Amino acid sequence: MKKINIDEELKYIEKVNEINKGKTLKYYILTMGCQLNENDSEKLSGMLEKMNYKKTLNMEEADLVLFNTCCVRENAEEKLFGKVGEVKKQKENKGTIIAIGGCMMQEEHIVNKLKQSYPYVDIIFGTHTLHKLPQDLYKALEENKKIRDIIDIDGEIIEGLPISRNDNIKASVTIMNGCNNFCSYCIVPYVRGRERSRNPKDIIEEVCSLAKEGYKEITLLGQNVNSYLRVEREKKIEFEEYEGVNSFATLLRAVNKIEGIEKVRFVSPHPKDFTDDVIEAIRDCEKVSKIVHLPLQSGSTNVLKVMNRKYTKEQYLNLVEKMKKMIPNIVFSTDIIVGFPGETEEDFEDTLDVVKKVHFEQVFMFIYSRRVGTPGDRMENQIPEEIKHKRFDRLKALVESQIKENNDKYIGTIQRVLVEGTSKTNEEMLTARTDTNKVVVFEGSKELIGNMVNLKIISEHMWYLKGELTH
C-alpha cells in the first residue's frame, strides 16, 4: 500500500497559518455529494481550521469559499455554475478566495468551462489532490496565482490529515477509495480512480480514537465496501494484517469489538460481493446495523447486464432470501435508476416486481442521467424524458405505499435507539434513529443525547415514528 507523504503539506499549513496570524478569517464550505464527499469536506475543514479560518454558514461573510463537488448526476453542474457566479461580486468587493474541489473537477470539460467562463476562481483541485489544499492556498495567497491542481493517479492512500467533524455522536470513516466496477451508467470510477483500501491498523486506530472522544456510531464508507482489501489480496499488494483484519468481514468483527461504539453501519456494498463471511459477520456482530443497503439499480436481468452489474434479478432475490434466512430481523434499503437506455416497459415492471417482493425500508430513486465518458452515454436507445418521469412517478407511488405498511409494523414494538439530538422542527422533542434507520421523535431530557435508550413506538407519520421512553 502506497501512502502519500504529507509532511510537506503539513509545513504549508504552518506557512499559511503564519500569513493568516492575527486575522479574523472565515470559510464557507458547500458539500454537494455523497457521504465520501462529506467526509472529504471534514478533512478540508480540518486543514482550513488549522490555517486560522473559522467556519461560517453564511457564504457572504466568508473570506474563503469552497465548493466540494459531485458529478454523479447532471443537476449538480447547473448548481455549481450558479454558485460560482454568485460569489463573483463578493470576490470583487472583498477579495474572497474561491476554491473548487471534488469529483466534478476530474472532468476535463467542466474544468475547461470554468477556465473559460469563470477565470476568477482561485483554486481548482481534484479528488487526488485534496491534501494539497494548504500548498495551493499558499500559492494563491502569496504568489497571487490561479491554481489548477488536478492529476490522475491510482493506488495511493492519504493518512494523517487534520479533520473537523460535523457531528459529535456519529462519525464516518472512509475505508477505501475509488471503484473498479465500471457500471455503464456511472462516472465514479473515472473521477475517483482505482480501488484502494486503507490499512486495517489505520482504520482500527481511527475508530478507537473516535470511541475515546465519545463517538457512538461509526459508518464505514467506500464505493464498494464489501470488496475491502480485495484488490490488495489479488494483486499481492502488501498490507499489514491487524487484529485479524484482512477482509471486510473481519473488519466488521474488529470494529464491533471496540468499546464505546454502540452502532456500526456501512455504505455502499455491492450485491455481487456479498460473500457468506460478510453475512455471518452482520449476523454475529450485535452492534452492526440490521438494515443493509443493497443497491439494486434495476430489477431487469437484461438491463442489469447492460449496466454491467454482474448479477441477475434472480441472483439478487436469492441473496435477499438467503440473508433473511441467516439474519431473521434483517431489512434492506436500496438505490434504483429508472430510464436507463433500452429499458422497456417490461424491464421496468421487473424493477417494480423486485420492490414489491423485497419490501425495502428505504429506496433512493434516480432518473437516469447521461454522464460524459461513460458507455451509457454512448448508447443509442436513450429513453425519452417523459417516459423516464412517468416511470419514476410510478415507482415513487409504489415505494410510498410500502413505507406506511413498513411503518405500521413498528407500532407497539420496543426499539433500542441512539439519541441523536433535538428535533429540527420542535426543540422540545428529541430525535433518535432505530437500528433500521427510521427517525423516531419523542419527549425526554436533553441529557439523553448520545445515549442508547428504549422507546415504545406509538404512532407512524410517514417520514418518522413517534415513541415514548420505556424500560
Number of residues located near ligand F3S, criterion CB under 6 A: 11
Indicate whether 270 belongs to the interface with ligand SF4 (CB under 6 A). yes
Q: Within 211-240, which residues bind ligand SF4 (CB under 6 A)?
A: 223-224
Tell me: does residue 71 bind ligand SF4 (CB under 6 A). no
* Cα–Cα dist 202/240, whole Å: 10
Interaction between residue 36 and ligand F3S (CB under 6 A): yes
> Phi first, then psi: what are they for 450, rounded to 5°?
90, 0
Q: 456 in helix, strand or coil?
A: strand
Strand 362-367 and strand 331-338: the pairing is parallel
Partner interacting with residue 189 (select from ligand SAH, ligand SF4, ligand F3S, none; CB below 5-8 Å by kind): ligand SF4
Under rule CB under 6 A, how many of the chain's residues touch ligand SF4?
A: 10
Among 146, 182, 381, 454, the residue binding ligand SF4 under the rule CB under 6 A is 182
Of the residues 9, 33, 303, 417, which one makes contact with ligand F3S according to CB under 6 A: 33
Task: State the binding partner of 73 from ligand SAH, ligand SF4, ligand F3S, none, CB within 5 to 8 A by kind.
Answer: ligand SAH
Q: Tell me the C-alpha to C-alpha distance, in Å, between residue 442 and each of 409, 416, 434.
A: 18, 13, 12
441: nearest Cα among 348, 450, 200, 458 = 458
CA distances to 163, 292, 322, 327 from 278, rounded to whole Å, are 30, 11, 12, 12
Q: Which among 188-196, 239-247, 403-411, 427-435 is the span making contact with ligand F3S, rule CB under 6 A? A: 188-196
Is 37 an interacting residue with respect to ligand F3S (CB under 6 A)? Answer: yes
Q: What SS3 state is found at 320? A: helix
Residues of the chain by 3-state class (helix, strand, coil), percent to 5: 40, 25, 35
Q: What is the DSSP string of 324-348?
A: HHHSTT-EEEEEEEE--TT--HHHH
| Residue 103 touches which member of ligand F3S, ligand SF4, ligand SAH, none, C-beta under 5-8 Å by kind | ligand F3S
Regarding 295 and contact with ligand SAH (CB under 6 A), the answer is: yes
**Hey, how many other C-beta atoms are within 10 angstroms of the C-beta on 5?**
12
Q: Give, as one character, the DSSP assignment of residue 383.
A: P
Comparing CB distances to ligand F3S, the nearer of 337 and 441 is 337
Based on CB atoms, which residue is closest to ligand SF4, 96 or 268?
A: 268
Residue in 13, 29, 48, 70 binding ligand F3S, rule: CB under 6 A = 70
Nearer to ligand SF4, 170 or 270 (CB): 270
Cα separation of the two ends of the chain: 48
Counting contacts by CB under 6 A, is residue 188 touching ligand SAH? yes
Residue 183 in contact with ligand SF4, rule: CB under 6 A: yes
Residue 229 cell numbers, joined: 482489501
Q: Which residues bind ligand SF4 (CB under 6 A)?
A: 179, 181-183, 186, 188-189, 223-224, 270
Q: Which residues bind ligand F3S (CB under 6 A)?
A: 33-34, 36-37, 70-72, 103, 188, 191-192
